[in-house]
Amino acid sequence: MNISSTSALNGNAGQMNYSSAKAGVIGMTRALAREWGRFNVNVNCVAFGLIHTRMTVSTEDAASVKIDGRDIRVGLNAEMLKSHAQRNPLGRGGTPDEAAGGVYLFCSPESNYITGQTVAVAGNLQ
């Protein structure tokens, strides 16, 4: 099970390095599925969209984390979060439990004949 991002599927302005790295995870998933299939090993990937965590709260409500003795504010621009919700068919970002559900899908026996796939857990917003 590998974890990627919808930024790998569509790119994201200002995130060339992140999008490229996450696209590499998808390529690795496909290659490993071909290499390890003969050993009955399934390799799949989940690409998350916006999942609401402490790192993705609005900067208006965000706290800070201490890194190397410095307080670093975390969070996303409030207007960006609002825009995301408006563009997403479900009208919101995902929850951590919903993100875990995407991973669980590939860990269940019902997915035994699925390999080399990437599923976007993003409320259909890619």
Q: What is the pLDDT of residue 75?
A: 74
Q: Which residues contact 113 (CB under 8 A, 6 or more apart)?
A: none
Q: What is the pLDDT of residue 91?
A: 87
Q: Which residues pair with 46 in a beta bridge?
A: 3, 119
DSSP conformation class of 111? G
Q: What is the pLDDT of residue 125?
A: 66
109, with CB counted inside 10 A (0-12, 13-18, 19+), is exposed
HSE-up of 102 (CA within 13 Å, CB side)? 25
Is there a catalytic annotation at residue 18? yes
Q: What is the pLDDT of residue 62?
A: 64
Q: What is the pLDDT of residue 44?
A: 98
| pTM listed for this prediction | 0.83
DSSP conformation class of 53? S
Please, where are the H alpha helices in 5-112? 6-10, 16-36, 78-87, 96-107
Q: What is the pLDDT of residue 71?
A: 83
Q: Which domains does the chain have, with CATH numbers?
A: 1-51+101-126 (3.40.50.720), 54-93 (no CATH)
Catalytic residue among 18, 28, 111, 118: 18
Q: What is the pLDDT of residue 4?
A: 97
Q: What is the pLDDT of residue 126?
A: 58
What is the distance between the alpha carbons of residues 18 and 28, in angstroms, rounded to a whole number? 15
pLDDT digit string (tens) for 83-111? Answer: 878 888 898 989 999 999 999 999 999 99
pLDDT digit string (tens) for 8-61? Answer: 998 888 889 999 999 999 999 999 999 999 999 999 999 999 898 877 777 777
